[in-house]
Chain A
Amino acid sequence: MSDMLIKLWNEGVLVLGIWETIYMVFISTAIAYVLGLPVGILLSVTSDDGICPIKAVNKVVGIAVNILRSIPFVILMVALLPAAKLFVGTSMGNRAMIFTLVVAAAPYIARMVESSIKEVDKGVIEAAQAMGTSSFGIIRKVLIPEAAPSLIVGAVISTVTILGYSAMAGTIAGGGLGKIAIIFGYQRSEYDIIWICMLLTIVIVEIIQEVGMRIALKTDKRIK
């Protein structure tokens, strides 16, 4: 083990990096979900086979989501730094990074939500309509609860994707394991630091995946 690695460990830099990564990933996933969930629902209900098809809305929102989704994250990230300064007051540090992560992840989450909602059995929706449920009632009482297990799986996948983005963002704006791997590992050719960061990331991903899937499985009443 290199002296640098021991130094980073003793000074608590690695532990801080782990927490920074977890903190940024979860905060930005949560905010991105708050934005992405309604957009995803909007996309699915306004589609041709949705409960209130509105072609124009669906097209406009769909195109906006696609534009954001088609920009590679590294480019979007640097392009967003001025906007970050405008919206969150800084283009440095974790706050700026959370901003860029949210902008990148929200459209991704919207698509995930859209496909989960579209999986809900059309017959069940029809039954709810036959019972006199309003469109809003169907969203709240049928679409979201029925899609819950699938939404949770989507959230897990999104969280892991955002974790990947966060490592990239760490190189220019924020902190976390990505930054440690680049600055202390790559730039100083201390490869064991890169390996340690990788290993820690894998462990975090495994935990998110495992816990998330268990929750999804427990929520799903279809298999029992």
Chain B
Amino acid sequence: MIQLKNLTKTFHTPAGDICALKNIDLTVNDGEIFGIIGLSGAGKSTLVRCINLLERPTEGCVIIDGEDITKVPQKRLLEVRRSIGMIFQGFNLLAQRNVISNICYPLEIAGVKKAEARARAAELLELVGLSDRAKAYPAQLSGGQKQRVAIARALATNPKYLLCDEATSALDPNTTQSILSLLKQINRDMGVTIIVITHEMKVIDSICDRVAVIDKSMIAECGKVSDVFVNPKSDIARELILPKTKVTERVEGKKMLRIIFDGEESKMPVISNLVISSGVAVNIMFADTKDIDGKAYGQMLLQIPDGDRCLERVVAYLDSINLKYSEEV
């Protein structure tokens, strides 16, 4: 279990003090995938660096499995770091080492014998699906392949925790998905607790169990992903989850309905049924819905043809199936 208590980080710069983190209290439970989301500059990268003390917090403690690592000697800190894997946005592979010796690196540091290290590295390479690229150098790999190597390297010492600092932000959507499913698989099969830092909501909903939303150096809200997603309490969470729709302005004069999905059966063709049973040809202006464990979450903006009767019929249908909506002006 990782506990951050009253964590504060202030950077002293010639231009004055910059507060990057303020009174952060956070607990990450064993076995979960915990997401930390925020806009850039919110302090999330500093926060993840405080977990393995790459950044030393100005105040507060970082308690890992009951041990406050801000108070341990350097030698012990190096040992603790070996039990926390980390991957980065920029992959950060050793450019002058090939794939297999990159993965061997943390094992060398930990004093594992060469033959043993090689065998372990080969195993991990198999796990990330890059066995055929063992002798390649990072410059010869694609972004997704580099991140797979970085994941293998981070897992070499069998860490209990894995920190991911914007690990998919430099990747295209398909590669992002494949890396995310690899992380999910590692969490499920190896029981590694994963902390994911991101600015993308889709990363959070595809793999995280719980999420903390960080804004202006503080935690704005924290909870289960489905709770935060359905019912965002803070402005920042609402901004990240429900992007403002600009289309509304362009269809002035027409009636608009915002339908809110908060956990309905995602297999039900709501809009088709609505059109068929009300006989009103609605126009979908905007939709942002997501499927989490077979339930639909999100919102949809419908343009309703002129005439009050149309609106009444649509509203009547929505009421009949208990779907939430609000009329937009």
Instruction: State which residues 53-106 of B face A: CB under 8 Å.
Output: 54, 74, 77-82, 84-86, 88, 90, 92-98, 105-106
Interface string of A116-142 (1 = CB under 8 A from B): 000001011011111111100100011
Inter-chain contact A224/B140, CB cutoff 8 Å: yes
Interface string of A63-81 (1 = CB under 8 A from B): 0000000000000000000
Residue of A nearest to B163 (CB): A130
Q: Judge if A148 is at the interface, Cβ distance under 8 Å.
A: yes
A-side interface residues, number (CB < 8 Å)? 25
CA distance A203 to B178 in the complex (A): 56
Please judge, given known A-B contacts A131-B81, A132-B110, A134-B78, whether A222 and B95 are in contact too, CB under 8 Å. yes
Inter-chain contact A133/B54, CB cutoff 8 Å: no
Please judge, given known A-B contacts A127-B86, A132-B81, A132-B106, whether A145 and B97 are in contact too, CB under 8 Å. yes
Inter-chain contact A123/B54, CB cutoff 8 Å: no
CA distance A222 to B139 in the complex (A): 5
Residues of B within 8 A of A224 (CB): 137, 139-140
Residues of A within 8 A of B106 (CB): 131-132
Interface string of A135-162 (1 = CB under 8 A from B): 0010001100110110000000000000
Contact of A132 among B92, B109, B139, B150 (CB under 8 A): B109
Residues of A within 8 A of B157 (CB): 131
Contact of B54 among A124, A126, A137, A220 (CB under 8 A): A126
Q: Judge if B108 is at the interface, Cβ distance under 8 Å.
A: yes
Residues of B within 8 A of A222 (CB): 95-96, 137-139
Inter-chain contact A132/B82, CB cutoff 8 Å: yes
Residues of A within 8 A of B163 (CB): 130
Residue of A nearest to B139 (CB): A222
Contact of B95 among A121, A132, A141 (CB under 8 A): A121
CA distance A145 to B140 in the complex (A): 18
Interface centre among A131, A142, A223 (most CB of B within 10 A): A131
Instruction: State which residues 195-224 of A face B: CB under 8 Å.
Output: 219-224
CA distance A222 to B141 in the complex (A): 11
Please judge, given known A-B contacts A126-B54, A132-B106, A221-B137, whether A148 and B86 are in contact too, CB under 8 Å. no
Interface string of B140-160 (1 = CB under 8 A from A): 100000000010011001000
CA distance A103 to B95 in the complex (A): 34
CA distance A221 to B108 in the complex (A): 21
CA distance A130 to B54 in the complex (A): 7
CB distance from A63 to the nearest CB of B (A): 22
Inter-chain contact A123/B92, CB cutoff 8 Å: yes
Residues of B within 8 A of A148 (CB): 96
Residue of B nearest to A219 (CB): B96
Residue of B nearest to A221 (CB): B137
The 10 closest A-B pairs by CB, nearest first: A132-B81, A127-B92, A132-B82, A123-B92, A130-B86, A221-B137, A132-B78, A131-B106, A123-B90, A222-B139
Q: Which residues in A have some Cβ–Cβ distance to B below 8 Å?
A: 121, 123-124, 126-134, 137, 141-142, 145-146, 148-149, 219-224
Q: Which residues in B have some Cβ–Cβ distance to A below 8 Å?
A: 52, 54, 74, 77-82, 84-86, 88, 90, 92-98, 105-106, 108-110, 137-140, 150, 153-154, 157, 163
Sample of 11 more A-B contacts, CB < 8 Å, known A123-B92, A124-B92: A130-B84, A132-B77, A132-B78, A133-B78, A134-B74, A221-B97, A221-B137, A221-B138, A224-B137, A224-B139, A224-B140
